[in-house]
Amino acid sequence: MTDTKNENYDIKQYLKEIVQDSIKVFYELTSWTDKDKREYSLLLKELKKPFDKQTSTTKEKGDRLENLVAFIIKKSYFFEIYRNVHTGTNEIDGIITLSEAGKQALYTYNISRDLLEIDSDIILGECKNYESTLGVTYVGKFYSLLVSTDISFGIIFTQKGLSGNEKEYHDSYGLTKVLRIVEKYQNNKNLMILTFTLDDYEKLEKGISFYELVKSKKLALQLSSDYDNFIREYHHEGVDSIKQKIQTL
């Protein structure tokens, strides 16, 4: 006589293992090696160095942050970055796109796209290595760039973050919330402008995943809450010019 109860358990367990296998592959692909961690620590240490106008240029200061960001995106595995793309009126610090390896991995290993926490194949990145928070003017310009390029996901990489409070609707942080709501209800677009700060780069050094940070920041933006509430640690790494670049990807 067939043990129906045991048979059902085996099927359920088998299906669970299939799901867990795909998640495990995702963690493995996005985890950092010891060498990656050492290299990243050096980049972070360089970023934290006090800026001396006598020995360094403003460009060198900006490069410190851009080099760190490029490393983070490269080690995300599923995305790659094109740096300093010029348009007729702007220079975009980073066009971040879903990589060929990333696309194939999603297909080959049956990984849910939702695990990436980013539903756009193209992200705009802006690096501002300033010693103070960014005012609403910077957010407004970045928003205009997102709208003009028809890209709905952007990340502003900074040291100090934006002006205002992440949990309130005023100043720069408040503007990112208002713009998200405006685009959602007027244009039916899921606009996201996230901000990374020095605190986030230190979290990455401690083992927090880039995708976990993105997830927590999205929730915080939508719920007007402190994104630390949503952090958990993984235990397993110019319009025409932009459109032309995108078409060649």
Q: Are 79 and 99 in contact (CB under 8 A)?
A: yes
Q: What is the pLDDT of residues 14-33, one digit of tens each?
A: 666 766 788 999 999 999 99
Task: Enter the pTM of the model.
Answer: 0.83
- DSSP-assigned letters across all residues of 8-45: HHHHHHHHHHHHHHHHHHHHHHHPPPHHHHHHHHHHHH
Summary mean pLDDT of the chain: 85
Helix, strand, coil percentages (3-state) for the chain, rounded to 5, are 55, 15, 30
Question: What number is the average pLDDT over the span 4-19?
Answer: 63
Q: What is the pLDDT of residues 154-209, one digit of tens each?
A: 999 999 999 988 877 788 998 999 889 888 888 888 999 999 999 999 999 999 99
Task: Identify the pLDDT of residue 146.
Answer: 92
Q: Are 87 and 241 in contact (CB under 8 A)?
A: yes
Question: What number is the average pLDDT over the span 140-152?
Answer: 91
DSSP classification of residue 95: E
Q: Cα 53 to the chain's mean position, in Å?
A: 30
Q: Which of 37-41, 54-58, 88-92, 174-178 has the lowest mean pLDDT?
A: 88-92
DSSP classification of residue 50: P
Q: Which long-range contacts (CB under 8 A, 24 or more apart) does 100-108 make?
A: 101/77, 102/77, 102/78, 105/25, 105/29, 105/77, 105/78, 106/78
> Which residues on neighbouring strands pair with residue 98, listed in sequence order?
79
